[in-house]
Structure 1
């Protein structure tokens, strides 16, 4: 197997994209958030997105990366992740000049809540916010700066050629053979009131630090992944999807209800 994997490392690392969670995971995070939105936030979101809703909007920022527009091909690309070297926290680094997921979140928050901004700009901003909160909860979107967030860790997943980033984006979620609504129903019923209160207090930098800490534990000792890896990863996967949903709701509630402290 190693003879097969080794020649493909460079080639696959150049062509495989770095998305987060994939379509299903992003929709799960948004649909969980929908359960915890305040009335004011839900109304404000509907005023911006109309019937689209946040679950439908969740994957839009990844879909648009295939657009030939330079904005999507270059300018917006670094906004999907953060880089936190091993042993450091987000507060100890300096954000790159091109920005990252956290600086983009701050930028788009200001646009989304500005009633004077054009509706099209507010829609773009809100779709990005929904997406970026999900991104920050995928452990490999807090990259260590050495392997493009696991994209260069080539592996097989149940005998299918992949890389560690793709395994976490999509394959672990697809393995369960659940729709995003089934995922949401199963996860929401297990979120406790204590977890709601604890998770909602965290700020984006802490979400990124959590992902970086998890990231350092999920690199396997083998390039051949199957049952054992799924067994180890499933509890982490479920928690990060659940936390992402709860925190997205908290972030949106704070945006659209002035009396709620802003999560920064």
Structure 2
């Protein structure tokens, strides 16, 4: 009853399904606000006409850059749904030497099990507007998360949160460096950063990155993850220079794939949402 009063139907359904499970300790939010907004802004520029109209029907004036941070913003909500049930949907664990299998997902789920559930909601003509809004915002966010290499963790250091480093002399952890440290070090707004990246993306890259399979995105993140642990925990300019192109590549790919995934969902017959507020 409390869930029905406070959360959309989809959230209640997921909470009921997963409510008996204990949530695993969650890593810090992938990319941070600036990184997620960059991926949302790039996605906005690559939506099809149909998908753009569908997003506008659901979110009104809210663009994908704004929607991208919503699941992290809601982590401040003290309710059990946001503190436990939804927390594991931001990352996936793939242990060293193993390929991900759906049966490996923990009982509470993960990013790779949550994503198709939200996609199904957006394609369900009977789903409520509230459910579709929640699903859309989570899809944008989860795809961004899966492109952060430490959100495809190996299960031994909480996605780099336990790897202590100093970043330009400040004590932090490797996860935080990839979430926000290297992005903020560029001293750009999210719109400036997104513009810089967008103008460098070629048509050939848009075509080659137009992959809707989350397992492909995750495999790329795992391959990169294996190369980013520093030998010396004191990192600054050299580390940023070494990994800058890789960081930008992950942000670019995430933006293109958010758009590709939404284009695929909304171009399916019968996926149209009702107008916002209806």
TM-score with structure 2 length normalisation?
0.85
1:188 aligns with 2:213: no
Match of 1:37 in 2: 47
Equivalent residue in structure 2 for 1:79, among 85, 89, 92: 89
Deviation digits for residues 76-116 of structure 1 (CA, Å, limit 9, x no counterpart): 11100000112322248622221110111111111122232
Structure-1 separation of matches of 2:188 and 2:196: 10
Query: How far 1:202 moved relative to its partner?
Result: 4.7
CA contact (8 A) 1:91 1:205 kept: no
Match of 2:186 in 1: 176
CA contact (8 A) 1:84 1:93 kept: no
SS in 2 for 1:239: helix
How many residues in Structure 1 have an aligned counterpart in Structure 2?
A: 245
Unaligned runs of 5+ in 1: 1-14, 260-264
Deviation digits for residues 231-258 of structure 1 (CA, Å, limit 9, x no counterpart): 1110110000000000000000000002
Query: How far 1:16 moved relative to its partner?
Result: 9.4
Deviation digits for residues 160-215 of structure 1 (CA, Å, limit 9, x no counterpart): 11100000000000000001111111111111111111111251011011101110
Alignment of 1:52-63 (within 5 A): 52-63=62-73
1:198 aligns with 2:208: yes
CA contact (8 A) 1:86 1:216 kept: no
1:224 aligns with 2:213: no
Structure-1 separation of matches of 2:233 and 2:215: 31
Query: How far 1:36 moved relative to its partner?
Result: 0.7
CA contact (8 A) 2:26 2:158 kept: no
Structure-1 separation of matches of 2:260 and 2:212: 9
Query: How far 1:59 moved relative to its partner?
Result: 0.5
Structure-2 separation of matches of 1:91 and 1:238: 28
CA contact (8 A) 1:67 1:73 kept: yes
Equivalent residue in structure 2 for 1:254, among 240, 256, 264: 264
Alignment of 1:94-173 (within 5 A): 94-173=104-183
- Between stretches 85-94 and 205-214, larger displacement belongs to 85-94
Q: CA RMSD in A?
A: 1.5
Structure-1 separation of matches of 2:261 and 2:113: 15
Structure-1 separation of matches of 2:242 and 2:99: 25
Deviation digits for residues 39-96 of structure 1 (CA, Å, limit 9, x no counterpart): 0000001111111121111001011111101000000111000001123222486222
CA contact (8 A) 2:212 2:261 kept: no
SS in 2 for 1:52: coil
Structure-1 separation of matches of 2:102 and 2:43: 30
Structure-1 separation of matches of 2:186 and 2:39: 16
Match of 2:252 in 1: 242
CA contact (8 A) 1:78 1:101 kept: yes
Indicate the structure with greater helix content.
Answer: 1
CA contact (8 A) 1:151 1:165 kept: yes
CA contact (8 A) 1:200 1:247 kept: yes
CA contact (8 A) 2:46 2:256 kept: yes
Alignment of 1:7-46 (within 5 A): 18-46=28-56
